[in-house]
Amino acid sequence: MRPSLPRLLRIVPRSAVTPQAARKRVKIYEEIPKELRVQPTLLQVLQKRRDEAGADYPPNIRIEPVVSKQTFSGVKPDAREPLRNVLRER
């Protein structure tokens, strides 16, 4: 016999549920403060590792700053590409 929806449902009468129990909320977990929920970005983790390692940090791993379109919004279009190249780590 296959289970059907009416077979799986059980209706609880209202008299079986007390009003105080219905209003009481049970916390399943302790809420974590918002500051602790934010994970650092990959860029922040890499920069922290580079700062901790100092001169021992491998030179082949380059960390470039995040450059958005708004950064160069006031710059002439023909001057944007040279400025982006200057920002890149060599």
> Is residue 84 within 8 Å of 64, Cβ to Cβ?
no
Rg (CA), the chain: 29
> Is residue 84 within 8 Å of 69, Cβ to Cβ?
no
Structure confidence at residue 90 (pLDDT): 59
Distance CA 55, CA 70 (A): 33
Does any domain span residue 9? no
Average pLDDT over residues 55-82: 85
Does any domain span residue 8? no
Domain ranges, residue 29: 14-87
Closest of 64, 68, 66 to residue 80, by C-alpha = 68
* Domains: count for the chain: 1
Does any domain span residue 7? no
Closest of 89, 88, 37 to residue 58, by C-alpha = 89
Does any domain span residue 4? no
pLDDT tens readout for residues 17-50: 777 766 667 777 777 788 878 888 888 999 999 9
